[in-house]
Structure 1
Amino acid sequence: MAAICALLVASALVRVGGIGASQAFAKDSPAAHDPAPAAHGPDQGTQLAAMEAPVITDADILPLMEALKAREARIEKREEDMDVRMQALSLAEQEIDRKLKALEAAETSLRQTMTMASDAAEQDITQLTDVYARMKPKQAAQLFEQMDPNFASGFLARMKPDSAAAIMAGMEPEKAYLISVILAGRNAEVPKD
């Protein structure tokens, strides 16, 4: 921006200096003293038009320089604002990265905890199923009749068919039938495709 300003000022000075010099040469030339300028040819009219061109003074250049300086100040201010915004964006990006890493670590930890809890629950259910399967069928049947049919069907589905059959044989027919219906319909809603 400063280079452009300098070029404009230099151009203005050359013009001002050029016009002043051409006027000085015109005053010293014999044509300047000639009372009949039209008699010297068509180039004389062009020279007169060039001599009559307005002279650019420092007062004319000053508003242009001030406008250029004001524009340069606005551009510098915008650049500073952009730098501040870029710094803010960089800080926000770092914070997002930090939070994302913390979230990923928490997700991994939660997944591990859920896997442990699921494994522990599976072990407990397997153990309890083994306990029911080892009980005398008549005693187990009494317990299963007290359970919710959905809950009871879950245990019976995990047992060996012989153990489950012995327990269901000792149950009241209505309860055994309800559990059978639940067991038969467990996979009915699974997609076939």
Structure 2
Amino acid sequence: MSPQLRRLAAALAGVPAKPAAKAAPGKVPAGKLPTRPSGKLIPKPSWRAPSLRLRLIDAVALAAGGLLLLKLIGFAAEDGTPRRTDFAQVLAHARTNSEPADPSVTGSVLPKEEGEAAKDPLKDLPKPAAKAPPESGSAAERAILEKLGARREALQQRNRDLDTREQLIENAERRLESRINDLKFLEDKAEGGAARKAESEAAALKPIVTMYETMKPKDAARVFDRLSLDVLVPVVVAMNPRKMAEVLAVMQPEAAEKLTVALAMRARGVAPLPASPGAPPLPPNELPAIDAPMR
């Protein structure tokens, strides 16, 4: 090692450098060329013995070369052909003025599906069978589960029964509504028939009523004394009350009394009293007797 490197290493290590030894007479210090007595340098011989000492720059060069060799080996082992870096591709494009080749065209890059299959070799393996569910717990848990299942079935059956009852009730309501509508129709029909019957009877009795109203009261009274109440009452009801009052005044007292009782019962909506079973039939112009309460 040269004296300059030694002094530099000593300075870095903190050790005082030793003074350079004086050269003995007749000897030339290391690192200096020998001189002639005239002061001229003696040229070094062209061949020098090989040095076995390893310098720092040599070590750095060897390390860089080894690193470069390892990288080349790694690239070759990765895909067989070294890839260009982005900078190298840009530089090549600038020099040749041509687009860089697509690596997929040369076959250096596998298709996407093949690449995914190569990346995931375990994808095609059959999936493991699903784990069987663990065995049920203790007997108490099984009993609770059975009770819950029975309770659920009972609730479901009850819901079905309720649905059936609701359907039956709805059907009954529909039938009842239909029956009510039929009864209303029959009632309206009956009322309409009764009204039409009353109108037809009134229209039929109108000529007879007009005839008796135009007769003299004495003549009409003689006829009314002999008529039955079933025929006389409708005619009297249809007559004018003033005209009927004149006729009633000249009628026989018994006939006038029976006619008055029949008109009162008709106004109250009470049917005439039937005759007793053992009594003889009444004449057509007489009413049954009314038993007055004892006082």
- TM-score band w.r.t. shorter chain: 0.5 to 0.7
**Residue 100 in structure 1 maps to residue 180 in structure 2:** yes
Partner of 1:81: 161
Which of the numbers 200, 203, 211 marks the counterpart of 1:123?
203
Give the whole-Å Cα distance in 2 for the aligned partners of 1:185 and 1:94: 47
Give the whole-Å Cα distance in 1 for the aligned partners of 2:137 and 2:261: 105
**Residue 112 in structure 1 maps to residue 192 in structure 2:** yes
Matches within 5 A, 1:1-193: 57-135=137-215, 140-148=220-228, 152=232, 155=235, 158-159=239-240, 161=242, 165=246, 169=250, 175=252, 178-179=255-256, 182-183=259-260
Give the whole-Å Cα distance in 2 for the aligned partners of 1:167 and 1:182: 9
Partner AA of 1:165 in structure 2: E
CA RMSD of aligned residues (A): 3.9
What TM-score do you get using the length of structure 2 for normalisation?
A: 0.36
Larger radius of gyration: 2
Give the 3 Å change call, closer, same or farther, for CA 153–168 of structure 1 in structure 2: farther
Q: Which runs of 5+ in 2 are unaligned?
A: 1-133, 269-295
Identity of aligned residues (%): 18
Report if the CA contact (8 A) 1:137-1:166 is conserved: yes
Give the 3 Å change call, closer, same or farther, for CA 131–167 of structure 1 in structure 2: farther
Partner of 1:38: none
Higher relative contact order (CA closer than 8 Å, sequence separation 6+): 1
Report if the CA contact (8 A) 1:140-1:167 is conserved: no
Report if the CA contact (8 A) 2:224-2:232 is conserved: yes
Report if the CA contact (8 A) 2:221-2:248 is conserved: yes
In terms of fraction of residues, the more helix-rich structure is: 1
Partner AA of 2:256 in structure 1: I
Report if the CA contact (8 A) 1:141-1:167 is conserved: yes
Partner AA of 1:58 in structure 2: S
Report if the CA contact (8 A) 2:209-2:235 is conserved: yes
Give the whole-Å Cα distance in 2 for the aligned partners of 1:179 and 1:150: 15
Q: CA deviation at 1:69?
A: 0.2
Partner AA of 2:225 in structure 1: E
Q: Deviations over 1:39-65 (max 9, x none)?
A: xxxxxxxxxxxxxxxxx9432210000
Give the whole-Å Cα distance in 2 for the aligned partners of 1:184 and 1:87: 58
Give the whole-Å Cα distance in 2 for the aligned partners of 1:184 and 1:103: 36
Report if the CA contact (8 A) 2:233-2:263 is conserved: no
Aligned length: 133
Q: CA deviation at 1:150?
A: 8.2
Partner AA of 2:210 in structure 1: D
Give the whole-Å Cα distance in 1 for the aligned partners of 2:153 and 2:211: 86
Q: CA deviation at 1:118?
A: 1.3
